[in-house]
Amino acid sequence: KYNGEPTQLIIGDRNTFREYCTVNRGTVTGHGKTEVGHDNLIMAYVHVAHDCMVGSHTVFSNGASLAGHVTIGDHAILGGFTLVHQFSALGAHSFTGMGTALNRDLPPYTIASGNYARAIGINKEGLKRRGFAPETIRALTQAFKLLVKGRDRGVAMQEVDSLANQHPEVQRFVDFINQSQRGIVR
């Protein structure tokens, strides 16, 4: 599609790109730019397609690939050979296992694995390592069980409201789910 239009590839500071990575500039039919934040580790053979938005402090293991228009939140970790469908989003602090194929959005703080991906639970170990309080992790786990694994979303939203009022992380989790364009991994 590229015909010399003024599009951009913006790469932040202190990123490490290992061997044979490809990162494509934006397109005029997209955002016009591809952005990679700061302090990311992009391992060998990773592909970041056009119009992607990658946050900061992420890890892309070998062979991870993003199709066009993908958004990756801060502190996300993509396991080796993770494939992400175009227009999908991965929330902050999310984690994918090796060989995961994501065709839907992955809420923040969530672990997913499989082809096609399914949500496993909250990224408890990653959150502990980043200093999240135990009560916040418990609240996120409860919200996950209600909104991702539960059946009746209306009832679940009522129950999650009080958790969201007490924990801003739960509110971010709820907001991500409510704003999802592709639906979420369950």
Known catalytic residues are: 50-51, 68
Q: Shortest CA distance to 95 belongs to which of 108, 81, 83?
A: 108
Q: How many CB atoms lie within 10 A of CB 86?
A: 15
Q: What angle do CA 144, 74, 51 make, to 5 degrees?
A: 110
Nearest to 120 by CA among 150, 153, 95: 95
CB 153 within 8 A of CB 183: no
Is-contact 26 34, C-beta < 8 A? yes
> What are the C-alpha distances in Å from 10 to residues 43, 114, 166?
18, 31, 37
Using an 8 Å Cβ cutoff, are 106 and 96 in contact?
yes
